[in-house]
Amino acid sequence: MARSIGMAADATVFRAVITKQLRDGTTVTEHEGPYGAIGAARARVSFWTNYLAVRDEDTQEPTGESRASGYVERGTVSWERAV
């Protein structure tokens, strides 16, 4: 999916770093972004934490635990012409 992020050269960008525990017990780390605002990256961490929430088998209510966690990283982009 293409993103349209209007920004100045050397602008600050953000990405979400998500660690997921798959059903087979394997742990994977994925990166989502870049985003032009920190809130967008935080929203992706929240999405995965909620989406992979551990639920009570009887009530299906969230237990407060999740099979995902994450944080946001900040960086700058250096653009150069691709040949």
What pLDDT is recorded for position 14? 95
Backbone angles phi and psi of 46, in degrees to 5: -60, -40
Q: Output the pTM of the full model.
A: 0.81
Backbone angles phi and psi of 41, in degrees to 5: -70, -40
**Which tokens is 48 given?**
């995965």
Residue range 24-47: mean pLDDT, rounded:
95
- Name the percent of the chain lying above pLDDT 70: 92
Q: What amino acid is encoded at 81 in this protein?
A: R
Q: What amino acid is encoded at 53 in this protein?
A: A
Domain ranges within the chain, ordered by starting residue: 14-74
What pLDDT is recorded for position 3? 57
8-state DSSP, 25? S
pLDDT over threshold 80, residue 4? no
